Amino acid sequence: MATPQFASFYPDFYIERLWDKCIKCKRCVKECPYEAHIWDAKKKTLLEDHIKCVGCHRCEAICPTKAIIIRRHPAQFREHALWTSWYIKNVYKQADQGGVLLTSTGCALPFKNYFDHLVLDACQVTNPPIDPLREPMELRTYIGPKPEALEIEEVNGKFRLKKKLPPLLKLETPIMFAAMSYGAISLHVHQGLAKAARDLGTYYNTGEGGLHASLYEYGSNTIVQCASGRFGLHVDYLNAGVAIEIKIGQGAKPGIGGHLPGEKVTEEISKTRMIPVGSDALSPAPHHDIYSIEDLRGLIYALKEATEYKKLVFVKIAAVHNVAAIASGIVRAGADAVVIDGLKGGTGAAPTMFRDYIGIPIELAISAVDKRLRAEGIRHRTSIIASGGIRCSADVVKAIALGADAVYIGTAALIAVGCTMCQRCYTGKCPWGIATNKPELIKRLPPEVAYEKIYNLVKAWSHEIKEMLGAMGINSIESLKGNRDKLRAVGLTKEEMEILEVKHAGE
């Protein structure tokens, strides 16, 4: 007797077909890479395999007659406060296969989102707001170390700085595109991100997958990453961008490395990552040359030396309970910016239990790091870049008011190009052509469409940020940085407000 596969008995989604509208065009069969739709040639009808449906809604969106509706499966387990259907189904899956539960995106559990418990100040009578449509509003900011004071001298009747400032990154908006590797997402998405970054006056991050040859032209808007696997890492790559990011950890899976399955390593990805076609790209949890802050300092200055001190070096860490102390060590090791990735930061593949239970929210981490660096008198020596769970322009404003210089967005950019958060990126079968390397799927998202959607998103957010700044009586993003007096808490404990350094609404 065959061992029953319990997980296959209980689908998550239900495919409802409206037969009065269905014309049996078989478009749904063609569009679904998971084979949830089946054409029965003998009976000349369409069938559904509900267990294979991941809830991506591709078939629902593409159906020419709108004959498909994707719903949560109506079958319910008996109510139980502890053993919800999510935990029951996870146990079934692991009992069937004996493997680690995998997932994608960021933490899906309903932990408190601190951005939603912070409200912004607004000006009224004695301190009137600024009209962003008729008065200049400055979103430009600079990433990198700043001097404690500027020393100016006069030469031939002209004033100039006595000491040359170190290289800085100029952002026309405080929003950058987070590290997403070529291989985890398609080349078309990378091309859209790169072009949007160029036209918006900001930067995109290559992630740990190296830099495809077609993207070198966008070098002046590129941040290259140096991760533990060192994929695609060579001197030309390091010099291709304007900054180098050492990835120590990420919010979706602190303390573990990365894994790009071999089936996603095509010939082009093989060339870029410098690994054999079809081989798994495994990033170890630690960098095997970094076991202390002193080791990290060695790598920071090795990268600076390799690029003739023309490139900034960032260090990316996950938000964990001792993040402030870690950030302090990173700054003292010579990092020009500290990137903090919070609990809700996305990923292409992670063990489910890691994604949902390890790390801390980005809001608490930003405040803790900013507070620590200010207390130690070294805040000016670095920039803080916040990442993980930035969903809208208001989140950007609140992150900066808590102490960040700028933010990275990743998941928001993917949603802008069509992602429906089905959390199956690791399969490489993304129906929207985003997290895939299959040619027949990649072509569903042309690079020019990706560019337009991403560009429009950041343009819209930037406009909203200007309006919020104007409402607060501020005409520059620099005046908002660390300005917690523009924030008030609603429904937070005294301890939470102390960590965030904000007052309660009404104070």
Annotated binding site for [4Fe-4S] cluster: 22, 25, 28, 32, 53, 56, 59, 63
For 124, list phi and psi in degrees, rounded to 5: -135, -100
Among residues 80, 86, 57, the alpha carbon closest in space to that of 69 is found at: 57
| DSSP codes joined into one string, 287-307 | -TT-SSHHHHHHHHHHHHHHT
Count of alpha carbons within 13 angstroms of residue 339, beta-carbon side:
29
238's enclosing H/E stretch is: helix 235-240
Burial of 476 (0-12, 13-18, 19+ CB in 10 A): middle
Q: Which residue has the tokens 């920071």?
A: 300
CA dist 165 and 382 (Å) reads 13
Cβ atoms < 10 Å from Cβ of 145: 20
Q: What is the sign, positive or negative, of the torsion defined by CA atoms of 376, 379, 385, 388?
A: positive
Tokens of 282: 């495994």
Token code pair at residue 485? 């007096």
The binding site consists of 22, 25, 28, 32, 53, 56, 59, 63
- DSSP-assigned letter for residue 384: E
Which DSSP letter does residue 331 get? H
Give the span between the Cα atoms of 468 and 475, in whole angstroms.
10
- Taking alpha carbons only, the member of 181, 172, 189 closest to residue 205 is 181
Instruction: Judge whether 468 and 179 are in contact, CB under 8 Å.
Output: no
Q: In angstroms, rounded to a whole number, what is the distance separating the alpha carbons of residues 192 and 177?
A: 11
Helix and strand numbers (H, E) in the chain are: 15, 23
- 8 Å CB contact between 305 and 352: no
**312-318 and 350-351 as β-strands: parallel, antiparallel, unpaired?**
unpaired
Q: Among 333, 320, 311, which residue's Cα sits nearest to residue 243?
A: 311
